């Protein structure tokens, strides 16, 4: 093990490599491996915007949704739903699905494809109005339109592209034909490298888990997961710290003296710094949980608690909301109180001001 290599070095590595100097939107997505996870909840902004605001110069809420139709980015499912580069998307298609459609369902789906082709660019409401498929129970247990469910399924299967969003609703067009990758193992290795680029350093158990999650994006190659995990461990740098094996890209040095600014950052619940909960507990010594879908009476930290990063330590969380055009931020701390560091209060105020600007609010 290199001299000075410990959890503190891993923690600095994890923070500094992910929270790089802000750059352009496209370069930021590429530095994140070519994938940004998306989530529809807005508290006070969507997760993709909360993630990108730390990494894109002058970023404001909604910029990704407004700008991606003009950029080489596309919506698709990787290990989660989000925005991906065309290069990453091409690794996943044509893909099979865990849920196989029968002939009656495909007949309905082909009618949807024909209607999208007729419209050129299709809003779900227009497709539903033309085909009148009616309602269906969704996987949340609520009601949705069958046409919308078919559009989602056809998009996942690579038959449709999302060309833009209208007030948050996906608008579809026919997708291109897909050429199978000539070497599935190479494709899986490339996707594993995307995950490592985005989430490293990773403990061994998390590395295996995220690679197995690739069945969401490349279901047809799910049996290659064990070989992909083994191959990743062979080519990645690794060290054992406090009884845990950690992995990161072979060209990176966690001990090089990463610079961590004296800055507060309120992170999205799905930000790469905090996304892997196992890694979170190993690096910061407490359990963060996303509680948006937890009954209110059982929540410990709040509906959409944002992990609060001070320098290289996640010391607590914040709940942020906008009411009557004003941003309100309430913080909680693992120790029960705010740090006594002389610069902390000023750094928190600066982060709240950045959040105001990002949301387009008055100070």
pLDDT in tens, 214-242: 999 999 999 999 999 999 999 999 999 99
Q: Name the pLDDT band for 308 (thresholds 50, 70, 90).
A: very high
- Percent of the chain past pLDDT 70, that is, above it, reads 95
Q: Name the pLDDT band for 258 (thresholds 50, 70, 90).
A: confident
Q: Residue 320: is its pLDDT beyond 70?
A: yes
Domain-by-domain residue ranges, the chain? 103-174, 264-359
Cut 0.85: pTM above it: yes
Q: What is the CATH number of domain 103-174?
A: 1.10.10
List the strands of the sheet with 81-84, edge to edge. 35-37, 81-84, 74-77
CA 58 to CA 24: how far, in whole Å?
9
Q: Which residues contact 240 (CB under 8 A, 6 or more apart)?
A: 1, 246
CA 21 to CA 323: how far, in whole Å?
32
Q: Residue 46: is its pLDDT beyond 90?
A: yes
Give the count of beta carbons closer than 10 Å to the beta carbon of residue 107.
10
Q: Which of 153, 160, 158, 228 lies closest to 188 in space, CA to CA?
A: 228
Instruction: Say how far residue 95 (Cα) sits from the centre of its chain.
Output: 21
Per the model's pLDDT, the better-predicted residue between 244 and 99 turns out to be: 244
Q: Which of 198, 215, 229 lies closest to 79 in space, CA to CA?
A: 215
Q: Which of 63, 60, 82, 79 lies closest to 71 in space, CA to CA?
A: 63
Q: Which of 175, 206, 210, 170 lies closest to 191 in space, CA to CA?
A: 210
In sequence order, the β-bridge partners of residue 135 are 145
Sign for the CA dihedral angle at 92, 93, 94, 95 comes to positive
As separate numbers, helices (DSSP H) first and strands (DSSP E) second, the chain gives 13, 14
Question: Average pLDDT of 201-226?
Answer: 97
The answer to whether the CB of 308 falls within 8 A of the CB of 314 is: yes
Question: Average pLDDT of 190-217?
Answer: 97
Two tokens, residue 13: 């590595």
- Torsion angle of the four alpha carbons 284, 286, 292, 293, in this order, in degrees rounded to the nearest 10: 130
Question: Average pLDDT of 33-37?
Answer: 97
Two tokens, residue 148: 């919308």
CA-angle at 350, arms to 348 and 353, nearest 5°:
110
Q: For the segment 63-80, what is each residue's pLDDT rounded down to a tens digit?
A: 999 999 999 999 999 999
Q: Residue 15: is its pLDDT beyond 60?
A: yes
What are the helix (H) ranges across 242-290? 277-284
Q: What is the pLDDT of residue 163?
A: 96
């Amino acid at each position: 093990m290199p001299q000075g290599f410990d959890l503190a070095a891993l923690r600095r590595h994890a923070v500094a490599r992910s929270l790089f100097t802000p750059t352009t939107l496209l370069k930021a997505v590429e530095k994140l491996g070519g994938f940004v996870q998306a989530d529809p909840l807005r508290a006070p902004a969507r997760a993709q915007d909360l993630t990108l605001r730390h990494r894109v110069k002058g970023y404001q809420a909604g910029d990704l949704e407004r700008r991606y139709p003009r950029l080489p980015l596309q919506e698709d499912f990787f290990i989660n739903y989000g925005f991906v580069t065309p290069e990453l998307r091409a690794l996943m298609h044509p893909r099979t699905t865990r849920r196989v459609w029968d002939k009656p369902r495909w007949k309905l789906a082909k009618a949807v494809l024909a209607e999208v082709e007729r419209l050129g660019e299709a809003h779900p409401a227009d497709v539903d109005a033309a085909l009148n498929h009616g309602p269906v129970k969704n996987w949340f247990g609520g009601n949705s339109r069958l046409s919308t469910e078919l559009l989602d399924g056809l998009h996942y299967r690579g038959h449709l592209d999302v060309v833009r969003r209208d007030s948050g609703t996906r608008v579809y067009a026919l997708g291109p034909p897909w050429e199978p990758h000539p070497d599935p193992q190479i494709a899986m290795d490339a996707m594993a490298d995307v995950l490592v680029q985005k989430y490293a350093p990773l403990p061994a158990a998390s590395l295996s888990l995220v690679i197995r999650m690739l069945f969401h994006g490349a279901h047809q190659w799910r049996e290659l997961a064990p070989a992909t995990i083994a191959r990743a461990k062979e080519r990645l740098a690794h060290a054992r710290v406090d009884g845990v094996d950690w992995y990161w890209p072979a060209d990176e040095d966690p001990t090089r003296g990463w610079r961590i600014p004296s800055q507060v950052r309120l992170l999205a619940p799905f930000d790469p710094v905090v996304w892997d909960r196992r890694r979170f507990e190993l690096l910061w010594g407490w359990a963060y949980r996303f509680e948006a879908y937890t009954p209110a009476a059982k929540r410990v930290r709040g509906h959409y608690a944002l992990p609060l990063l001070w320098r290289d330590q996640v010391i607590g969380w914040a709940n942020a909301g906008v009411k009557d055009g004003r941003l309100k931020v309430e913080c909680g701390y693992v120790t029960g109180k705010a740090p006594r560091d002389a610069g902390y209060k000023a750094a928190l105020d600066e982060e709240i001001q950045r959040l105001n600007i990002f949301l387009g609010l008055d100070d």
